Amino acid sequence: MKRIISIICSLLCTSIAYLAKAQDPQFSQTFNAPQYLNPALVGGEQLTRVGLNHRGQWLGMPGYFISTMASVDAYIQPIGRGSNSALRNLGVGGFILNDVSGGAGLVRNHAAATFSCEFALTDRLAFRTGGQVGFGQQTINFSKLVFGDMISTTGLTGLPSQEGLAGSQTIIYPEIAWGGMLYSPSFQFGLSLHHLNQPNISFIGDRATLPIRFTAHTSWIIPILLSQDKRKAPLQYVKPFIMYRRQGVYDQFDAGANVMLDPIVLGLWYRGLLLKQEGRTWNNQDAICLYFGVNWGDFEFGTSYDVTVSRLDPATTGGSYEISLRYLIGKSQVRNINGFTASGDRGTSCPSWSNPLKRNKNPWNRNRSYQPKRW
């Protein structure tokens, strides 16, 4: 069985070489890879974040998939625009992604710079928009591919292919992405479009465009245990999350929730499309994702495991694991969600306790006479 799957995977990689219709790498912990999810998320938490994500997919198969991403983002307060300006904070960041697909020597690297800006719509409602510019690099080793003339009814023939492709080849192409997000202290809704320029990623000189990746995502906050300090976010809460992605002819639906118990975070998601027909059945399922995280001071650690629930044998695929690590610089002493405190005020870096009598009536007013002093 493993030998058959290995041959199928090799044929899939051969199709990638000719048609270049591969899907982008995916991360189950999308909330821990904000720049990869939506450029508008960069700088949104009003602090500096340094992150590392690592995913191993289908480790039980001969040619598994490994994805690793390093990222950093920060927010910049606009200067000289006045305390009542609708434009509030800017975000800048960047990431580097490395993806090794299967056993056919297909390696993809992606580096990009991300920027965003925020507009206040009401006291507790904001819109962020962001862009991403970078480049992609793909390398393939044709000597590791399995072509049709190398397979017989009994399996691999052991003879070389007559396709005339040999050695490694590398291509480099530009990347452009856009994202937007509407959010408040209790919810967020975002859209993003990656590969807007649809670059040509063919290895053999033909025209093979990388399809646009469309993503729609939303999440909201359900408090469990409130803090006595009204400025603080809930001590415990549930955060449901829904996401839909489509790239070319492939689409994916994720739904689940995280439970914040401070400092422990537990999560459970389902990935699949039950209402989409696959062949003669409607059972188009993918995986159940289990998540465990710990928030330890300025560090956030998360680990997850995807249990295969599709028609692929779970014992054969071996499931998928993922690890994430984030370090937060300038973390607010007043815990916030979506960049807001529970009362609707925007989070600030290292504030001391403010005098309630001098509380700013407008949560978006940046007049420093109302702001708590910094450490």
**Band (345; pLDDT cuts 50, 70, 90):** low
Q: Is the pLDDT of residue 180 over 90?
A: yes
**Adjacent-strand bridge partners of 182:** 127, 189
Whole-number pLDDT of residue 29: 94
326 occurs within a structural domain:
yes
Strand (E) positions, the chain? Answer: 48-57, 65-76, 87-101, 106-122, 125-141, 151-152, 155-156, 168-183, 187-194, 213-220, 222-225, 236-247, 250-260, 264-273, 284-296, 299-308, 320-329
> 105-119, 183-197, 273-287: which range is least confident on average?
273-287
Q: Would you say residue 365 lies in a domain?
A: no
Mean pLDDT computed over every residue of the chain: 78
Domain that holds residue 308: 2-358
Q: Which two tokens stand for residue 92?
A: 């800048």
Which comes out higher in pLDDT, residue 313 or 356? Answer: 313
Residue 284 sits in a domain whose CATH number is 2.40.160
According to the model, what pLDDT value does residue 39 have? 96
Buried/exposed 289-318: b ≥16 CB within 10 Å, e otherwise: bbbebebeeeebbbbbebebeeeeeeeebb
Instruction: Please state the domain count of the chain.
Output: 1
Provide the pLDDT for residue 33. 94
In a domain, 367, yes or no: no
280: alpha, beta or left? (left if phi > 0; alpha if psi -120 to 50): alpha
Compute the average pLDDT of residues 136-161. 74
Q: How high is the pLDDT of residue 355?
A: 30
Q: Which residues pair with 156 in a beta bridge?
A: 151
pLDDT digits (tens, 9 = 90+) for 62-101: 667 899 999 999 988 765 554 455 566 789 999 999 999 8
Q: Report the alpha-carbon angle 201-204-205, nearest 5.
A: 75
Q: Is residue 368 part of a domain?
A: no
370 within a domain of the structure (yes/no):
no
Please state the φ and ψ torsions of residue 204, each to the nearest 5 degrees.
Answer: -115, 15
The SS3 assignment for 214 reads: strand
Answer whether residue 373 is part of any domain. Answer: no
In a domain, 159, yes or no: yes
Q: Residue 21 domain-assigned? A: yes
Q: Is the predicted pLDDT of residue 2 greater than 60, yes or no?
A: no
